[in-house]
Amino acid sequence: MIRILLVDDHAVVREGYRRLLERRADLRVEAEAGSAEEALQILRAGQPDLTILDLSLPGMGGIELTRRILQRQPEACILAFSMHRDPLFAAQAVRAGALGYVTKSSSPDVLIQAVYKVARREKVLSPDIAPEMALTLLEGSSNPADELNPREFEILRLLLDGLGAEEIGKLLNLSPKTVQNAHYQIKAKLGVRSDMELARLAMKLKLIG
């Protein structure tokens, strides 16, 4: 039996995936969480065999949640499940420690097979993103955001959501000064000088709508 923690901020979505997963006799959604903070509380009480998490969680996102889980439980098996088909998001999830990345546009069978593979500690990417990831590895990435590490990527996401240094610091357990320094480093790595340029580049790179 593979015991699963399902993390998504939409209850209807969680219910749908619970039903899908539990069609298999050897898969059981043991717990659900609607936020990263709720997931961490659940994980303090016990460790599932596998955590499936959405990257686009409110507040602390899935990439930072992945980091937090692995800090506490280095052997944790994590499958990122996201609407984003850009290889950038998959690369950041894998860098943070996720063993798999499946897009929400994938067929149900792709998700099911990914669950089994990640539970065996195998790495997996959904077919709709794997070729682009392979091409990125072979030819290198032209996306400047690939220069960011997972922590910087998470801070960028929160900055783009309109959060200030103090709010981000509270979410990520960082001092406002550390967040401000990271903000500076992010702009330097992306080659922009102002927050306006940063927002424009983020829109161009489809980091925001």
CATH classification of the domain holding 187? 1.10.10.10
* Domain membership of residue 100 as a residue range: 2-138
Same-domain pairing of 22 and 68: yes
Domain-ending residue, one of 138, 157, 183: 138
Is there a contact between 42 and 33 (Cβ–Cβ < 8 Å)? Answer: yes
pLDDT at 20: 96
83 in the same domain as 14: yes
Q: Determine which of 26-30, 80-84, 200-204 has the lowest per-residue pLDDT on average.
A: 200-204
Last residue of a domain, one of 138, 154, 189: 138
Predicted confidence (pLDDT) at residue 138 exceeds the cutoff of 70: no
**Region of poorest pLDDT, from 33-47, 86-100, 137-151, 180-194:** 137-151
pLDDT, tens digit, 9 for 90 and up, residues 60-82: 999 999 999 999 999 999 999 99
Rounded Cα distance, 193 and 184, in Å: 9
- In 3D, which of 47, 59, 77, 57 has the Cα closest to residue 8? 57
Which of 138, 153, 177 lies at the terminal end of a domain, its last residue?
138
The CB density around residue 91, as the number of other CB atoms within 10 Å, is 21
Query: What confidence tier does 208 reach under pLDDT thresholds 50, 70, 90?
Result: low
Residue 136 has what pLDDT?
67
Tally of CB atoms within 10 A around 37: 15
Q: What is the pLDDT of residue 203?
A: 85
Regarding whether 113 and 50 lie in a shared domain, the answer is yes
**What tens digit of pLDDT does each residue of 127-137 get?**
998 887 776 66
Same domain assignment for residues 25 and 124: yes
pLDDT of residue 206: 75
Q: Are residues 129 and 154 in the same domain?
A: no
Tell me what pLDDT residue 34 has: 97
Does 190 map to a domain?
yes
